[in-house]
Amino acid sequence: MLRNNPSITYRQAADALSVSYTTVWRTLRTMQEAGFIERTGSDKRGTWRILTPPQPNHE
């Protein structure tokens, strides 16, 4: 969802997924804290960016 629409708001995501605003906010907040995504700009006009986690070194 974030790849297809990086400017999606919490409310839009909640409506698209048929879940509450709070569920989306909590899930995205957890993903931010884990370093999977980041939000640039405001909640209303910002964009989401999916971060590439560091890959383990298989040497």
Backbone angles phi, psi at 19, to 5 degrees: -130, 175
Cβ atoms of 25 and 10 within 8 Å: the answer is yes
Task: Give tens-digit pLDDT for 14-55.
Answer: 999 999 999 999 999 999 999 999 999 987 889 999 998 666
pLDDT at 59 over 70: no
pTM of the model as a whole: 0.79
Of 4, 2, 14, 13, nearest to 40 by C-alpha is 2
Task: Please give the structure tokens belonging to residue 41.
Answer: 């700009």
Tell me what pLDDT residue 12 has: 94
Tell me what pLDDT residue 44 has: 80
Per-domain residue ranges for the chain? 10-50
Neighbours of 54 (CB within 10 A): 7
